[in-house]
Structure 1
Amino acid sequence: MMVAEPGITGQRFKSIIGGSAGNLVEWYDWFAYATFSIYFAPLFFPEGDLTAQLLNTAAIFAAGFLMRPIGAWVMGIYGDKHGRKAGLTLSVLLMAGGSLAIAFAPTYAQAGVVAPTILVIARMVQGLSVGGEYGSSATYLSEMAPAARRGFWSSFQYATLSGGQLLAILVALILQALLSEAQMGDWGWRIPFVIGSMLALCVYLLRRTMSETKSFTNIDQKREHSSLKLLWRDHKRSCILVAVMSGGGGLASYAFTTYMLKYLINTAGFEKQTATLIIAGVLIWSFCLQPIAGMLADRFGRKPLLLIAGAGVALAAVPIYTLVGQATSPIVALALILIPITLHGGYTANNAMVKAELFPAHIRALGVAFPYAVGNTIFAGTLEYVALWFKSSGNETGFFWYVAICVGATVIAYLMLPETRDTSLIEED
């Protein structure tokens, strides 16, 4: 259990925890789709083999990503105009609605083409939600945290993202233990989405009681209002850097967690439950790693951690994927995956804070959210589809190099970044 440290007020601490808890539920709902698509893919796309069915669900996963820039645009402006708290409460309501729609969606056998259509619409609503959630939560947590410990406190933004993914995995493990394979494929996969929608509604009530940040309340309302035109005109360089960081960094995150689950099953040949346990171990490690990496950023700066992450993961990608694909022991597979995950902690713990520190308060939510969503949509959002395309074409090794090149490109962006620990535009309140 976290205890508020000297220098952070009880209300501020409560708000940080409240923002983090909401972020966890948002990302649980988002990752539940990827985690349980193995079970419901045949119900919505009955034709073809497993890889073909997963390709269809991956395409819908990408469609959700396509909505994220729109959500980031609309919700970012909303958060800059009406407050970070307002943006957070709206995003979690959208997520609740999307999850509920998936939970009760009819199958292809029941409704024909209407079934995958509902799935697409629900996923697009979730994409809007997550597009707004990232910018709002990253901005909120970074503004609430005291400057000297901003790395530590804002690291919980990604810790709870890992926690949401871990929660989805743990729900999968429990259901796999309680239900048969046939029951999971028939109706058990719906349970996680019901859970997600109920949790999201609870978080909505929690977020209504949070405090607004002083950075937002101190904004001069006579300033030019947040907009994409203003963002591009005054902060073009920061936008490009954030998009490159987010594209490669987000791709790495999905490559070694979300897609790795399918890779363990579809390529390495592990049983579904074994593969799920491996990824659960990865996520537990990632969750615990975030505050440590955040504290290191407070001590040594943001850039060294980011550079280690970018260069390290780029170099590790090809050999790790190759060795995991040949692994027969779950312990060996877990140990191998933990290597890039540990290196990547320098990015995951600190990226949200760095992005928030690059923009002034009156346009911060949009500045964090929109270029992040664009980068993630182009690279992370299409990751599973690209990976499965390489596999179906018989050239899976090409995907390993694709990951290495995309992550390696972030090193250029990190070298061009200022050391935001020293140049942060978040004022100390």
Structure 2
Amino acid sequence: MTTEHIYSPEEKRKRIFGIVGAASGNLVEWFDFYIYAVFAVYFQQALTAPDMNSTAKAVYVWGVFAASFFMRPIGSWVFGRIADKYGRKRSMVVSICLMALSSFLFAALPTYGQVGMMAPFLLLLVRLLQGLSVGGEYGAVATYMSEIALKGKRGFYASFQYVTLSGGQLLASLLGVIMLAFLTEQQLQDGAWRIPFVIGGITALISLLARSRLEETLSNQDSNLKESGSLRELFSKHWRSFLLVVGYTAAGSLSFYVITVYSKTYITALGIPGKTAGIMMTVALFVYMLAQPVFGAIADRIGRRKAMLIFSASLAICIYPVMVTGMHAVSGSPVMITLLLIFLMLLLSFYTSISGLIKAEMFPPHVRALGVGFSYAVANAIFGGSAPAVALQFKGAGIENTFFIYVIVMLVICFFCSWKLPKEPEYLHHDH
């Protein structure tokens, strides 16, 4: 049974404002981060060597996309330590400032024609800065939202982390559709690709105002502990939790990037025009975003553990037949392909709606942001960010379908990791 918690109207307003404030910054962080994926096909012409063929350019640009994920563990360590030692609010404020800076730098990148080989190098450098910022974002936001959410409804409120994460991806995709409606692909390649990064930098500065007014959730007692934010403390006393979180995050991140990022490349290869594919992905992401609170509320009812088991089992069963058989069978119908994408995203929602919360509940407050962020970043770097590049390697070798077998194997591992999660009711409504 759910324990009923009574809040004063003022306390309830404060907590909901905290959720909104943290979530708004998260929206901007991920919008800025995903602009890269949406506009990569346009700036790759300007920032890579003209004598490279289109495949080599794509491999480099998506390789840079993957490389930025390897900055996430560093970002999660740096910002996780700040969050656990000096406060969740300070960590979130610094990370949004860094994202604003890197977005403006991205907009100002010189072309290959201007600086030669320095252009692709600077692309990598600025993208690594974005990876550092996002690496710090996830752990601090997941921790903050789990701590400030109304008790008994944590799944519902914590789901807004992925509402804004997918919302950022949706807005980036929508911006791509809007710009293609007003500009030609040639104009985008000639320099209009810089506009989204300017927009991203400006919105980051605006969200900074909301974050600067957040209420701190880290207690003085926890921040003053010598072990607060310490990797030694994390690995000496909480390594089992760390490995468990890495186990289910690996499959969750891999599935997320396959379904929400790589699938656009996949359906374009089926003969769907790029503009149509962009609209299809925008529609699917919109439904996915709206679904997060629904699945968060479901998890509050059935329990986090059951939600995780449903996610890993159902997606392991469905992803191969949907992507390999279903997509090809309806390749002439954008509507049917969009419905298949939405179906996979809904299965994914059993994980994404509560992913930050279940990670936060695995660690004590004094290493919570570090534990959540670092475990997520490690799994995401190895399995999530690499997904498009690895899929392209499989495709280049003529065995693209085998890539989905790899996804299934990771989901099976996730199933067994989820099985190890504590059973309800003790776990479901446990409050740190």
TM-score bin (small chain) = over 0.9
Q: Gaps (5+ residues) in structure 1?
A: none
State whether residues 143 and 426 of structure 1, in contact with CA within 8 Å, keep that contact through their aligned partners in structure 2: no
* 1:223 to partner: Cα distance: 4.7
1:288 pairs with 287, 290, 296, which one? 290
SS of match in other structure, 1:147: coil
SS of match in other structure, 1:212: coil
Matched, 1:415 2:394: no
* 1:225 to partner: Cα distance: 2.7
2:271 alignment counterpart = 269
Matched, 1:10 2:13: yes
Distance change >3 Å, CA 420–CA 144, structure 1 → 2? farther
CA distance in 2, matches of 1:99, 1:21: 17
* 1:418 to partner: Cα distance: 1.3
Distance change >3 Å, CA 325–CA 51, structure 1 → 2? farther
Matched, 1:210 2:214: yes
1:129 alignment counterpart = 133
Q: How many residues align?
A: 422
* 1:309 to partner: Cα distance: 0.8
CA distance in 1, matches of 2:84, 2:313: 34
Distance change >3 Å, CA 189–CA 86, structure 1 → 2? same
RMSD of the alignment, in Å? 1.7
1:152 alignment counterpart = 156
Q: Gaps (5+ residues) in structure 2?
A: 1-6
215-224 or 129-138, which deviates more: 215-224
**Amino acid in structure 2 at the alignment position of 1:283:** L
CA distance in 1, matches of 2:341, 2:151: 33
1:191 alignment counterpart = 195
State whether residues 361 and 426 of structure 1, in contact with CA within 8 Å, keep that contact through their aligned partners in structure 2: no
State whether residues 87 and 223 of structure 2, in contact with CA within 8 Å, keep that contact through their aligned partners in structure 1: no
* 1:184 to partner: Cα distance: 1.3
Distance change >3 Å, CA 302–CA 59, structure 1 → 2? same
Matched, 1:25 2:1: no
State whether residues 101 and 118 of structure 1, in contact with CA within 8 Å, keep that contact through their aligned partners in structure 2: no
CA distance in 2, matches of 1:61, 1:32: 11
Matched, 1:108 2:112: yes
State whether residues 84 and 216 of structure 1, in contact with CA within 8 Å, keep that contact through their aligned partners in structure 2: no
- Name the TM-score, length of structure 2 as normaliser: 0.94
State whether residues 356 and 426 of structure 1, in contact with CA within 8 Å, keep that contact through their aligned partners in structure 2: no
CA distance in 2, matches of 1:324, 1:101: 39
2:3 alignment counterpart = none
CA distance in 1, matches of 2:274, 2:146: 38
* 1:405 to partner: Cα distance: 1.7
* 1:325 to partner: Cα distance: 4.3
Distance change >3 Å, CA 419–CA 90, structure 1 → 2? farther
Matched, 1:69 2:73: yes
1:83 alignment counterpart = 87
Matched, 1:38 2:45: no
- The Cα offsets for residues 119-152 of structure 1, whole Å up to 9 and x where unpaired, read as 1111111111011000000000110002201010
CA distance in 1, matches of 2:311, 2:54: 33
2:144 pairs with 136, 140, 143, which one? 140
* 1:421 to partner: Cα distance: 6.6
Identity over aligned pairs, percent: 41
CA distance in 2, matches of 1:207, 1:233: 33
State whether residues 250 and 380 of structure 1, in contact with CA within 8 Å, keep that contact through their aligned partners in structure 2: yes
2:101 alignment counterpart = 97
369-378 or 38-47, which deviates more: 38-47
320-329 or 216-225, which deviates more: 216-225
- Name the TM-score, length of structure 1 as normaliser: 0.95
How is 1:258-337 mapped onto 2 (pairs within 5 angstroms)?
A: 258-265=261-268, 267-322=269-324, 323-325=326-328, 327-337=331-341
- The Cα offsets for residues 203-246 of structure 1, whole Å up to 9 and x where unpaired, read as 11221111111x43452624523211110111111100111111
**Amino acid in structure 1 at the alignment position of 2:307:** L
CA distance in 2, matches of 1:363, 1:182: 49
* 1:274 to partner: Cα distance: 0.4
CA distance in 2, matches of 1:336, 1:35: 21
1:53 alignment counterpart = 57
CA distance in 2, matches of 1:56, 1:220: 42
CA distance in 1, matches of 2:257, 2:210: 29
109-118 or 398-407, which deviates more: 398-407
State whether residues 354 and 420 of structure 1, in contact with CA within 8 Å, keep that contact through their aligned partners in structure 2: no
CA distance in 2, matches of 1:353, 1:220: 21
Matched, 1:349 2:362: no
State whether residues 25 and 199 of structure 1, in contact with CA within 8 Å, keep that contact through their aligned partners in structure 2: yes
State whether residues 141 and 161 of structure 2, in contact with CA within 8 Å, keep that contact through their aligned partners in structure 1: yes
SS of match in other structure, 2:228: coil
